[in-house]
Amino acid sequence: MKLLSTLMLLPVLTATVNAQEFGEQPAGARIPDKLEFQSIFNGKDLSGWAGKTEFWSVKDGAIFGQTTKDKPTQSNTFLVWQGGDVADFEFKAKVRFAGNNSGVQYRSELFGNPEDFAVKGYQADLHPKPEYFGMLYAEKWRGIVARRFQRVVVGADGKPKVVGEVGNKDQKLVDTEWNELTIIAVGNRQIHQVNGVTTMDLTDNHPEAKRKGILALQLHRGKPMTVEFKDIRLRHLKGEDAKAAINAVTKKAGWTDELHTAYFEWFLKAANYRGGASFAKFIQFIRDDAVASLSETQKKSLKEILAKKPVQKSALENLGAIFAGRSETKWTLDELSQATRTNLKQRDFRNGRKMFAAGGCFACHRFRNQGGMTGPDLTTAGRRYSAHDLLDQVIHPSKVINDQFSAVSVITEDGLAHTGVVVNLSSDRLTLNTDLSDPNKRVNIDRNTIEELIVSKTSPMPTGLFNRMTKDEILDLIAYLISGGDPKYEYFRK
């Protein structure tokens, strides 16, 4: 089989030519120290690029790559820029493609037979599927590292963690139309954008992370496809320019020390006022990242605030602080439901939000992009549930359990038991988060080894969360939930 496929490749190999034959390599193709954008494609021929000639040409001022039914490629093949390695840089190109996916490799390397122009490394994926368009795919290496809309941090253990959202979920991208791709790579930070909107943001501390390498354009094996690239520009980045480039896309430009101080003070408070161990961890991620984006001078002038550590209290202690000295009321559903029928008007928006925080809801639930993720996002819960049903969910969490968040117990062939919430399920693997207060505590279980799987009848959400609130406070909280966080909602009209 191996021999046969090698033989089949032979005619392809002889048809392949090396870089020089594409045309004269212009002396200016290598642009080591220029910090402004330079065009790296002349719009006329493939000078400065190398790949399999049978697939690549120039058409209407664009690099044109094509495979057909009669002339497929056996494996992914690339047009490689001959201008040297890219390390810290910003790349821009207009691109459109059809039939299959393409992508731009960077900080990559050639591997295998040089005539195949096979490449390994980071790829800004250009994929017709919305959730993949602009994602980070580590070609012949680590597979999908960050999908579109994800902010991912890969730790020294090599494991990717989604730490936030980026971009705009309403942004529609069409593969067959011209879109502008931007890649920014500085140190361990890599950001992709399409049409000026960030599609993924990666901080890569993988032990084998690559900080420099070649740049290349992809033609995918499989279905016949075309891809076109034009207006291809590159600038190398260094020092303050590099920082500014990252800041410009992460919108941290224009920060004064004063703003920074206020910002970091917020983190000191935030570690407490929403309570909950998992929320504190998210806060820690954001803070670490914010610190990492500071320049040395900024770090120096903010030394004092950066040295301060939050005094952390547990979620229950935080609840205690706000509701201190109150006695408990065992609210019944009927009583509260009755109250919502007549009293969901002229509610207090700010108090509703305060109760959402004080009641510990933020610790496990996201609401308008804030809060923990161990429970469902509640931003649109008010559209899905009536006031009565929302009350019911909080008073009787285990009556109806959202199965996406149910706890399960798994017993495996070798007699081990694991209990947790399913965070990932594939055809052969089940991943459980075993500690709701720590989203990073996970076990992976081979599905073939599962003897028994029991879905827990108890919700991970605690009972009695309303017990120390007054009726008015509960109504404010319900109004806040139903409004989706909109202070202009009718329930708040005075």
Output 138 or 394, the one with its CB closest to ligand HEC: 394
Quick one: 173 or 436, whose CB is closer to ligand HEC?
A: 436
What minimum distance in Å lies between the beta carbon of 330 and ligand HEC? 15
CA distances from 435 to 270, 278, 321, 442, 457 (A): 22, 10, 25, 8, 17
CA angle 462, 361, 354 (to 5 degrees): 135
Residues that bind ligand HEC (CB under 6 A): 359-361, 363-365, 374-376, 378, 381, 390, 393-394, 397, 401-402, 405, 436, 459-462, 465
- In single-letter form, the type of residue at position 184 comes to I
- Alpha-carbon gap, residue 300 to 297, rounded angstroms: 5
Q: What is the dihedral of CA 145, 147, 153, 155, to 10 degrees?
A: -20
No. of helices (H) and no. of strands (E), the chain? 13, 24
Q: Report in angstroms how near the CB of residue 401 gets to ligand HEC at its nearest.
A: 4
> 249 or 394: whose CB is closer to ligand HEC?
394
| DSSP sequence for 102-138 | EEEEEEEEE-S-GGGT-EEEEEEEE-SSTTTTT-EEE
Contact by Cβ (8 Å): 347, 491? yes
Task: Kindly tell me which of 149 and 405 has the beta carbon lying closer to ligand HEC.
Answer: 405
CB of 481 to ligand HEC, least distance (A): 6
Q: Which residues pair with 184 in a beta bridge?
A: 90, 191
Nearer to ligand HEC, 73 or 459 (CB): 459
Nearest-approach distance from CB 374 to ligand HEC, in angstroms:
5
Q: How far is the CB of 372 from ligand HEC (least distance, A)?
A: 7
Distances (CA, A) of 172 to 89, 136, 148, 249, 437: 27, 18, 12, 20, 36
Least separation in angstroms between CB 166 and ligand HEC: 24
What CA–CA distance (Å, rounded) separates 384 from 434? 28
Residue with Cβ nearer ligand HEC (75 or 343): 343
Q: How far is CA 65 from CA 15, 102, 194, 350, 395, in A?
A: 16, 10, 20, 57, 60
Which residue lies nearer to ligand HEC by CB, 231 or 392?
A: 392
Smallest gap from residue 350 Cβ to ligand HEC (A) = 16
With respect to ligand HEC, which residue has the nearer C-beta, 40 or 358?
A: 358
Beta strands in 286-415 (DSSP E): 366-367, 370-371, 407-412
Query: Considering the complex, what minimum distance in angstroms separates the CB of residue 441 from ligand HEC?
Result: 14
DSSP 223: S
If you ran DSSP here, which 8-state letter would residue 86 be given? Answer: B
